[in-house]
């Protein structure tokens, strides 16, 4: 994200709505999406299971929004809109953070 406007658009997107619903499913709207709830969503939509490397049993809300947004964008480019992605969320987050840091360095 390079601007607050882009961030707001992302949070107001369908991906933001889905992430908010996932965040609330554990009984708390606290900015932490339970890994089991997130993995259930991923498996229901045909995506690879998310395995946190930091040992936490939750994923930050904004990271879930970004992952869902990217998954939805991939699905929209597929002719059958139901693609199976060999998706490594940790690697995608690492790339996104690096890109964000590089944009904000100047």
Residues 6+ apart with CB under 8 A from 84: 46, 47
Under a CB-based contact definition with an 8 Å cutoff, are residues 36 and 27 in contact?
A: no
pTM beyond 0.75, yes or no: no
Provide the residue ranges of all domains of the chain, joining segments of one domain with +: 4-103
Q: Tens place of pLDDT for every residue, the chain, 106 residues?
A: 468 888 888 888 888 989 999 999 888 889 999 999 999 999 888 888 999 888 899 999 999 999 998 888 877 776 655 534 344 556 666 666 777 677 766 5
């Amino acid at each position: 994200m390079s601007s607050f406007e882009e961030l707001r658009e992302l949070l107001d997107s369908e991906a933001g709505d889905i992430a908010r619903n996932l965040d609330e499913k554990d009984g708390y709207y606290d900015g932490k999406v339970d890994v089991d709830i997130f993995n259930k969503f991923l498996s229901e939509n045909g995506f690879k299971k998310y395995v946190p490397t930091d040992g936490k049993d939750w994923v930050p809300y904004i990271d879930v929004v970004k992952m869902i947004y990217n998954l939805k964008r991939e699905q929209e480019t597929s002719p059958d809109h139901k693609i199976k992605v060999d998706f490594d969320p940790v690697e995608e987050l690492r790339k996104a953070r690096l890109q964000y840091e590089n944009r904000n360095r100047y």
